[in-house]
Amino acid sequence: MVKKVAIVSLSYGIMGEDSARHEVEIGIKRLRDYGLKVKIMPHADKGIDYVKNHPKERAEDLLAALSDDSIDMILCAIGGDDTYRLLPYLFGNDELKNAVKEKIFLGFSDTTINHLMLHKVGLNTFYGQSFLSDICEMEKQMLPYTAKYFEELIKTGTIKEITPSDVWYEERTDWSSGAVGTPRKAHKNNGFELLQGSGQFSGEIFGGCLETIFDIFDNTRYEDSPVLCERYKLFPELSDWEGKILLLETCEEQVTPEHYRKMLVTLKKTGIFNVVSGIICGKPMDEKYFSEYKKIIREVIYDPALPIVANINVGHATPRCIIPFGVNATVDVDNQVIRFKKGIE
């Protein structure tokens, strides 16, 4: 059972801005209502400019949280777009390897990079929720589906299975304090959707945000991103992907179908689609370009035998489940469930 949570800002420092204070207060109260002690790491709430300009200090917060035996869980404040800049401070002298200890690490979006970092040093992590995006939800309560998985994780240290949400929600456009207590607009959700291949397949799930993975190989967003990621061998070797289930989900940018195709083609060049046992895709935010994305991923992969399942409630569309990495999973579309053999103890 989790007793103490550390909050880190490894990408974007919005948590430290006055504009987010009402959200942070909501989230900290909810964590404490669960009986959790909360530690905001020293640099996590220093604001956007500080966090952006101090990757070394961001890395120090992660290392300190990992090293602290009193901390059971590390919760990312939110995603962002430049956590790759932590690489030299975590791998230059084996800093991350020397600090890592068995504990829960939870985040998504740009945090995909941090999941890859921790994978390199042998820590199995959890993907799908973050502090500001989920715990700080401005409705009167956390979204029920989201809360169900967060509560399971903090109480048991694992996730046993995932089933689809009955509904999905439109993303908020107003994050001001005046919007506190206002409900999101809900729509009926259709469950896991088999796009091709067998409706049942197994393997350890690994992956994350497609835009973030794309930036490992493409220098459009940051010129030095591919250079640093290659220097520290961030993207796993093909042998490491053998038999895994690849998780792909898209971010709030809601990229055009053309760019979605470009990202998948770039990923295909690694050979990853030739070795994984299947692919699961998170629901796009507000279902924008959903039908186009489903068509494109089948076209790019061009292997009808490879199972592809869409509409998983993970990633940038709400509500969100939590997916454990490094745990054997069985995807069963017929029974609308993903089961996990065991969790992190």
For the residues 313-324, what does the mean pLDDT come to? Answer: 98
First to last CA, the chain: 10
Q: How far apart are CA 234 and CA 62, in angstroms?
A: 17
Q: How far apart are CA 342 and CA 302, in angstroms?
A: 33
3-state secondary structure of 319: coil
Q: What are the backbone angles phi and psi of residue 238, rounded to the nearest 5°? A: -55, -35
Residue 256 has pLDDT above 80, yes or no: yes
> pLDDT band at residue 267, thresholds of 50, 70 and 90?
very high
The structural domains of the chain, ordered by start, are 4-159 (3.40.50.10740), 167-340 (3.50.30.60)
Selected residue with higher pLDDT from 258 and 342: 258
* pLDDT confidence of residue 343: 39
Residue 116 has pLDDT above 70, yes or no: yes
3-state secondary structure of 233: coil
Minimal CA–CA distance to 109: which of 215, 224, 2? Answer: 215
Residue 204 β-bridge partners = 328
For the residues 111-130, what does the mean pLDDT come to? Answer: 98
Which tens digits make up the pLDDT trace of 35-59?
999 999 999 999 999 999 999 999 9
For the residues 332-341, what does the mean pLDDT come to? Answer: 97
- The structure tokens listed for 242 are 């053998």
> pLDDT band at residue 342, thresholds of 50, 70 and 90?
low
Which tens digits make up the pLDDT trace of 196-242?
999 999 999 999 999 999 999 999 999 999 999 999 999 999 999 99
Provide the 8-state DSSP code for 181.
Answer: T
* pLDDT confidence of residue 59: 98
Residue 84 has pLDDT above 80, yes or no: yes
